[in-house]
Chain A
Amino acid sequence: MLAETPHAQKLGLALGGSASVTEDQKAGLIEVRVEPKFLMDVSKKLKELGFDHCVSVTAVDYPRENYMDVIWHVSSYSNEELGNKLVSLTVRISRDEPRVGSLVGVWESSLFSERETHEMFGVEFEGHPDLRPLLLPEELLGKWPLRKDFILPKRRSDLFRKGGAQP
């Protein structure tokens, strides 16, 4: 359950008020929501605070509301207290033009994860040094298979029509 806890308020103050911070105490997860224009500043401040590496990069697709959330999960190796926490740095971007700044300059470990998110969701990471395809076979390049409106191959749809999984 995300809520405004003392920890979250403290982190919000440290980030200078440009981000809304909530915390799920049970899961040890802190969510930091920022506008795309403040993303670089907030990520640099997070790194200064001791969150020194990026665990994963992912995205969540909302086709009906027409936006996507791009999420960087960051944590700490150097600071033991911060290492218990996982910060999810979330940016909401338009689905029509999915562009967001790359954070490879801040956390280098997001290099491959951003490549993967790019080929799975079609998010363009501006400033990424190398956005080549990483995992997908040739047939699926440019189809963004993890988006919600991706339609499964035809030969499978007959089998599972009753399940209602197709959008």
Chain B
Amino acid sequence: MPSWADPVLSVGIIVLVGLVAPVLVLLIGKALAGSEHPMKRKRFESGNPPVGSGKGFFSMQYYPYLIMFVLAEPYAVFLFIVAMTFNLKPDVSGSLMILGVLALALALRRARKMVEGERGIILVQEEGSVYFGNLDEIAKKAGQFIKKNRLASKVINWGYTYSLWPAYLVTACCGTELAAASGPRFDLERLGFLSYGNPRQSNIVLIDGTLTIKMAKVVRTVWEQMPEPKWVIAMGACVLDGGIFWNSYSTVLARDILPVDIYVPGCPPRPEALARGIMMLKEKIKKGEKSLNQPTSISENKEMREVGNVG
């Protein structure tokens, strides 16, 4: 083996891994994708439709992250690896090398697009047989394999139980108990339960308190925006059966709008009760159970539209 082969091999392996991993992620994502609600990809944040001049299209908070993770960080890593392998100083020559690789990749991509046209990845598909290159079929088979494999699903479910992130959605006074439960004394974060400010990156709707008709719409929207898998905890007597607002014109029960997994009764429930509810939800997730109640959304719910007929 010539002396230059060893560093080239190591860089090659790293580049190969970097190329294969995103392809795998894309395949798995494509395989597991189900049907989605039209609300899901609309431009909402935290249930508020963007209205007026105050809501700009360019939301600045995401772009520094994008720049950091997509450009700056891989660049630094590659620079480090190249400098180590070829025993270079991290100066202009290393940077030029990386830029050359990037330019090569772009040129290859351009060439492939010119060859394959707009459709891109689907190459061959005939009746009865699938050739290598039909990525849809491969993705489907891979997805089925992953679903069938119980060990994988167990591991995944175990992972879910330690990243339960509810969206901030304090609808009523039970929110004080949630705040106490998140505080240092009860500290639900030790269970992996951490409130987060965005439905896109969270997976639990924790309804804490009375739902009015107006707020029920927001809750449903937030739930639609969440990616799968997602769960619902209904906290307090008001969303269970009405509580002290049982004869109010505006109270909505949680089961009328969402598939509730766990009810935490009480008026309001103590933080211990909430912690117990979360532990029960974890058991449920580990078993892979889902809520049997599948209500329609509010716009499709006839009874909710006929609310309050004066007789």
Binding site for B on A (CB under 8 A): 137, 139-140, 143-147, 149-156, 159-160, 165
B311 near A154 (CB under 8 angstroms)? no
State which of B35-43, B90-98, B126-134, B302-310 sits at the interface with chain A.
B302-310
Chain B residues whose CB sits within 8 angstroms of the CB of A156 once the complex forms: 242, 246, 251, 253
Given contacts A139-B213, A139-B305, are A160 and B246 in contact (CB under 8 A)?
Answer: yes
A159 touches B303 (CB 8 A): no
Q: How distant is A126 from chain B, measured CB to nearest CB, in Å?
A: 23
Residue of chain B at shortest CB distance from A166? B247
Q: Are A145 and B249 in contact (CB under 8 A)?
A: yes
26 pairs, A vs B, C-beta closer than 8 Å? A137-B212, A137-B213, A137-B217, A139-B213, A139-B304, A139-B305, A139-B307, A139-B308, A140-B250, A144-B310, A145-B250, A147-B310, A149-B310, A149-B311, A150-B310, A151-B308, A151-B311, A153-B304, A153-B307, A153-B308, A154-B303, A154-B306, A154-B309, A156-B251, A159-B241, A165-B247
For the complex of A and B, the 10 pairs showing the least CB-CB separation, nearest first, are A145-B249, A143-B308, A153-B307, A137-B213, A139-B307, A165-B247, A137-B214, A155-B303, A151-B311, A140-B308
Q: Is the CB of A140 within 8 A of B247?
A: no
Number of interface residues of B (CB under 8 A): 22
Query: Once bound together, how far apart are the Cα atoms of A139 and B307, in whole Å?
Result: 7
Extra inter-chain contacts (11) besides given A150-B308, A160-B247, CB under 8 Å: A137-B213, A137-B217, A143-B310, A145-B250, A149-B311, A152-B249, A153-B306, A154-B303, A156-B242, A156-B251, A159-B246
Complex CA distance for A6 and B263, rounded to whole angstroms: 57
Which residue of A has the minimal Cβ distance to B305? Answer: A139
CB distance from A51 to the nearest CB of B (A): 32
B249, A150: Cβ atoms under 8 Å? yes
- Asked whether, in the complex, the Cβ of B308 is within 8 Å of the Cβ of A152, the reply is yes
With a CB–CB cut-off of 8 A, which chain B residues contact A151? 308-311
Cβ A155 vs Cβ B247 within 8 A: no
Q: In the complex, what residue of chain B is closest to A139 when comparing beta carbons?
A: B307
What chain B residues lie within 8 Å of A160 (beta carbons)?
242, 246-247
Question: What CA separation (Å) do A93 and B253 show in the bound complex?
Answer: 36
Query: Which residues between 236 and 279 of chain B lie within 8 Å of chain A, taking CB atoms?
Result: 241-242, 246-247, 249-251, 253, 256
Q: Specify which chain A residues have a CB less than 8 angstroms from the CB of B305 in the assembled complex.
A: 139
- B251 — which chain A residues lie within 8 A by C-beta? 156
Rounded to whole angstroms, the CA-CA distance of A156 and B308 in the bound complex is 11
Contacts of B256 in A (CB 8 A): 155
Q: Shortest beta-carbon distance, B230 to chain A, in Å?
A: 24
- Smallest CB-CB separation from B303: which chain A residue? A155
Q: How far is the CA of A151 from the CA of B251 in the complex (A)?
A: 13
> Interface readout for B203-230 with A: 1 if CB under 8 Å, 0 if not?
0000000001110010000000000000
Question: Roughly how many angstroms separate A143 CA and B309 CA in the complex, as a whole number?
Answer: 7
Cα-based distance from A9 to B89 in the complex (angstroms): 99
List the B side residues contacting A146 at CB < 8 Å. Answer: 249
B249 to chain A, nearest CB (A): 4
CA gap between A6 and B182 in the complex, in Å = 57
Least CB distance, B195 to chain A, in whole angstroms: 27
Tell which of B249, B250, B311 has the most Cβ of chain A within 10 Å.
B249
A140 contact set on B, CB distance < 8 A: 213, 249-250, 307-308
In the complex, chain B residues whose CB is within 8 Å of the CB of A149:
310-311
Of residues A137, A146, A153, A155, which shows the largest number of chain B Cβ atoms within 10 Å of its Cβ?
A153
Q: What's the Cα separation between A149 and B311 when bound, in Å?
A: 7
Closest to A154 in B: B303
* Residue in A closest to B306 when the chains form the complex, CB atoms: A154
Contacts of A154 in B (CB 8 A): 303, 306, 309
A165 CA to B253 CA in the complex, in Å? 18
CB-defined contacts of A139 to chain B, threshold 8 Å: 213, 304-305, 307-308
B294 CB to closest chain A CB (Å) equals 16
Least Cβ distance of B3 to chain A in Å? 76
Q: Nearest-CB distance from A89 to chain B (Å)?
A: 27
Chain B residue at minimal CB-CB distance from A153: B307
Q: Using Cβ atoms and an 8 Å threshold, which residues of chain A touch B247?
A: 152, 160, 165
For window 273-311 of chain B, which residues contact chain A by CB distance below 8 Å? 303-311
Residues from chain A with a CB closer than 8 A to the CB of B309 are 143, 151, 154
User: Which residues does chain B contribute within 8 Å of A155, judged by CB atoms?
Assistant: 256, 303
